[in-house]
Chains A and B, each alone.
Chain A
């Protein structure tokens, strides 16, 4: 079974530019999550999709961040325009659980550096 795949693994952009991160969840996983880890801080929740619907986007920092999951398969997270404080590692995770413990499988992350 393929795991959660994220692309790119590392992106370096200048302030004001746009970056799009992609996540391919495990096939059949309806739940897809985006998390972010900023240097020295804990991993923070950004948003949660159930299939193609946004279930919870309470963690999105501001309207420069846009997440989509067209067709309920892969997801993209766009940052436009990027700011210095957006630097960090963006993790995607997916799960199948509809009940019981929600076991998330994480991707390797996309490291974003904004200069």
Chain B
């Protein structure tokens, strides 16, 4: 079992729709959870992080964390073509390093 698992996609949604990205992790001792966005050939850039159970909203983005289920998700509301990218879920363990999932490729269709 991979430490951090994401649906590899690709995921396609129409412009204006909600995109839902999911991630599960295996280490129950994980502290913080991150969503990064990576455009092709570019560096991963942080969208948001969450460390408490529940929802955290930032603009069109909402991260949801359920530690009991070892599950974290990212919702993108009013998706735009510029949101088309690979979304990386990362989990911080006790050693302060991040473990990444393989990423979900999102395409927002105009």
Q: Are A108 and B42 CB-contacts (below 8 A) given A31-B96, A102-B96?
A: yes
B1 interfacial contact with A, CB 8 Å: no
- Number of interface residues, chain B, beta carbon within 8 A: 24
Q: A56 contacts B49, CB within 8 Å?
A: no
A66 interfacial contact with B, CB 8 Å: no
Q: Are A43 and B96 CB-contacts (below 8 A) given A101-B31, A106-B45?
A: no
Q: How many A residues are at the interface, by size bracket?
A: 20 to 34
Q: Which of A51-106 contact B (CB under 8 A)?
A: 55-56, 59, 91, 97, 100-106
Q: Which of B76-110 contact A (CB under 8 A)?
A: 88, 92, 95-103
Q: Nearest CB to that of B6 among chain A residues?
A: A42
B62 interfacial contact with A, CB 8 Å: no
